[in-house]
């Protein structure tokens, strides 16, 4: 999967961002997406898994689940704010993922060496 670095983002365009946890509507960090355009409720391609890290979930590559979430068009400012919230690149990595419909937004993915014993869950919350 391709890694997206903050320095590679064109500030004049919107980026598609897939969210699946505390950034979802109704969740505690949704306000970080303020001013962003909600596109649709979507699912990932069935090649991921969702794990629980206690008070928040994490998306892992290499699984066989289709993860539900929401798709937003976000500005560079919002994306950088979300990077800070998600600890990119020191905790989560912002990467392109694949949706069930073939679109490839960015999302925050937990590397396999972090929390390897985390419990698999089907959705959040």
Q: Which residues are catalytic?
A: 86
State the alpha helices, DSSP H only, in 1-125: 76-86
Q: How far apart are CA 86 and CA 58, in angstroms?
A: 10
The secondary structure of residue 122, as a DSSP letter, is S
Give me the DSSP letters along 21-54: STTSTTSTTGGGGTTPEEEEEEEB-SSEEEEE-S
Tokens standing for residue 106: 């960015």
Tokens standing for residue 64: 């066989």
């Amino acid at each position: 999967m391709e890694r997206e670095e903050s320095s590679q983002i064109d500030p004049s365009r919107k980026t598609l961002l897939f969210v699946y946890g505390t950034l979802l509507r109704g969740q505690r960090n949704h306000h970080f997406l303020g001013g962003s355009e909600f596109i649709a409720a979507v699912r990932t391609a069935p090649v991921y898994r969702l794990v629980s890290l206690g008070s928040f979930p994490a998306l892992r590559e290499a699984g066989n689940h289709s993860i539900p979430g929401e798709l937003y068009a976000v500005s560079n400012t919002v994306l950088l704010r979300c990077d800070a919230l998600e600890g990119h690149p020191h905790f989560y990595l912002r990467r392109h993922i694949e949706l069930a419909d073939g679109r490839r937004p960015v999302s925050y993915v937990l590397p396999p060496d972090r929390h390897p014993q985390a419990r698999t869950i089907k959705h959040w919350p």
